[in-house]
Each structure stands twice: as structure tokens, then as C-alpha cells.
Amino acid sequence: MFDSFFQSILVVAVFGGLIFFHELGHFLGARLFSIGVKTFSLGFGPVLVARTFGKTRCQIAAIPLGGYVALVGETPDADIPEPFTQEESFALRPAWQRFVVIVAGPVFNLALAWFLCWGLLFATGKVELPPVVGSVRAEAPAALAGLAPGDRIVKINETTITRWEQIPQFMQLNQSAPIAVTFERADLGTSTVQVAPAQMEQTLPSGEKITSWVLGITSGKPIHTPLGFMEAGAAGIEKAGHMLRLTWDGLKGLITRSIPASSMGGPIGIAQIIYKQAEHGATDVILLAALISVNLGMLNLLPIPVLDGGHLMFLSFEMITGKAVPLLVQHKATMVGLALLLGLMLFATFNDLLRIFS
């Protein structure tokens, strides 16, 4: 548990750590091919602390909402400052080398999510919720259908249930349609009952209110399984992969409008969630940091000029055709992408403020 001061420090630490690993990917990608790096910056705006290592100026700036790695010769006509040489120019390298440097940032974010999950699973073991009913709310659909604590749910309609997480996932897809719940009870054997889910409003950690469909049951006790180092690594890949699928489903939902645009959040909303999750302990914060890292990696891979994905799109065209996208086209596309990104950030910030003051 953390008090308010340490919760605030934790918010800054999570933001800073995720940005650091993203930029570290770009930095190490550049150094892999001996490309010069002028500046490695955490944050924007006025510089608070700066120190030079080799030829690279490393700094921490006042606005901790991003960071950047400034490469030598980012465009063909860029000046090469001393003490760098023409051979260290980024723009003069083959397209595939530039591709590796750009993609390394998002890849490092995805790898960080895996490492966080790996370390957490090695330290705490794997926690699984079996599909066993822990409690039943009075007058809820499950209670009216006859479900009781201790019942093991084995099937919903034709779907076999092996994990508790499958139950709420099925409910959100099925919504209000009546379902057949097959369960096992020690003194009764296997039975099947018809249940009509109920609608319930919930408040997320961000303050947003959402509507969900429920049976009125909670899970039983979790099962803790210790994991060895390599087992935890394999389980970490599975956990990070699940986060990746969640992020992809969220992006698809926003595009297809199955998820309302009002659910979008920005840095303020993320900071709120980190702050509140810190109340529950370090485990929840680490899992949240892994999820945000996956989000950061995925969003940066979107083919929007100004993001890493936009640069990768231009470089892919160059590698396929053998010709670079004209600088004028890149410049105009980047301006459009920048306007789109700023618009999305303003909209997300508006949503964050609306949730705070509503």
C-alpha cells in the first residue's frame, strides 16, 4: 500500500520508465549500426538535468509526457554537427537499417511487457480462478435460477468453461439473451438451469461508467501455482500476448464504433488509473505498467505519419520499390498525421477532464 506522495511518485516513475525503454530501443538500434545519436531525452521543454556520455547528450526535461532520440543526419540535407562524421548519418544508411532503428522502440515496449509479466509470475506464481461460484447475490439471476456457492460451472450454452475469466467474457458477447448454465454440485451431480442475465452499471478506475451483463455471482478462491524461471518466462509470453489481444480488440472496437469514443483516455486518465491501482499494491501496478507498455508499443506501430508506424510505412515502400518517398510528400503527410494526433490527444484529454468534473 502507498500513501498519496508515493502514489504520485509512482505515476511519474511508470510514465518515465515506459518512455525510457521506448527511446532506449531507438538508441540501441542506432548504435547497433554505428549511427550517431545527438540527444537522448526523457520529456520535453526546459532541461532539468543533462550530462554527456561519449558523443550523446542525455537529459531529463520538465514535461514528462514523452521523449525523443535525436539522430545524426535524420534527413539527407541535414547538417552533421561536430564531433560526428558523415558516416554516422541516419539518412545515408540502407532502408532496412533505418527500419530496424525505428521499429526497435515499439518492440522494446512489447518486450518490456513480457519481462514485467515474467518477473511477476516468477515472484508470485501463476494465479488462476477456477470457474467455481464463491457467492451469489440475493435476488440476482443466478440466485433465482438456483445456483449456489461451491457450484462449478462447466458449460454455458455449448461453450465449455475451464477458467472464471470466460464467464464475464461470454456475458458481454451474449448480453441479455437467456443462457443455459451447466454446473456440478457435490451432492447433486451435474445440472443445467436457464438464466436471464441482468444489466448492471459499473464505474471503472478512470471514473467512466459502463454497462455490463451479469449473473450476480462472484468467483471463489484463486489457485496459486509456483513457477520456475523458464516456466514463468513462457507464462509471461502468454500473459503479454493476452494484453496484446486486448489492445488490438480495443483499437478495432474504437474504429468500428462498437466501443464508444467517450471511453478514450489520455495521459490524465492513465495517471489516474496508475494512482488508484497503487492503492492495491505493487502487483497491480506492475500488471498495469505492462498493459500500458503494450498499448504504447501498439499505438506507435499504427501507420500514421509522425508515429513510428508512419516512418515504417515510408521505409517499407522504399524497400519494396527501391525508391524513397519524396521528402515533400513525407512532409505533407507528417503535417496531416501531426494534426490528427493532436486532435486525438485533445479529444482524449477532454474525455479525461469530463470524467473528473462530471
The set of catalytic residues is 23
Q: Report how far residue 74's alpha carbon sits from residue 121's, in angstroms, rounded to the nearest whole number.
A: 41
For 123, residues 6+ apart whose C-beta sits below 8 A from its C-beta are none
Judge whether 114 and 243 are in contact, CB under 8 Å. Answer: no
Q: Report how far residue 251's alpha carbon sits from residue 199's, in angstroms, rounded to the nearest whole number.
A: 25
Cell of 210: 459502463
Q: Report how far residue 244's alpha carbon sits from residue 355's, in angstroms, rounded to the nearest whole number.
A: 26
Write out the H or E segment, with its range, that includes residue 214. strand 209-214
For 297, residues 6+ apart whose C-beta sits below 8 A from its C-beta are 22, 105, 106, 107, 108, 109, 110, 113
**Cα–Cα distances in angstroms (integers) from residue 133 to residues 96, 153, 287, in the given order:** 54, 8, 25
Q: Which residue has the cell 549500426?
A: 33
Q: Report how far residue 126's alpha carbon sits from residue 234's, in angstroms, rounded to the nearest whole number.
A: 11
φ and ψ at 201, to 5 degrees? -100, 130
DSSP state of 306: T
What residue type is assigned to position 23 of the chain?
E
49 sits in the region (left: phi over 0; alpha: psi -120 to 50; else beta) called beta
Say how many C-beta atoms besides its own lie within 10 A of residue 281's C-beta: 11
Using DSSP, state whether 290 is helix, strand or coil: helix
**Is 258 exposed, middle or buried, given 0-12, 13-18 or 19+ CB atoms closer than 10 A?**
exposed
Judge whether 39 and 52 are in contact, CB under 8 Å. Answer: no
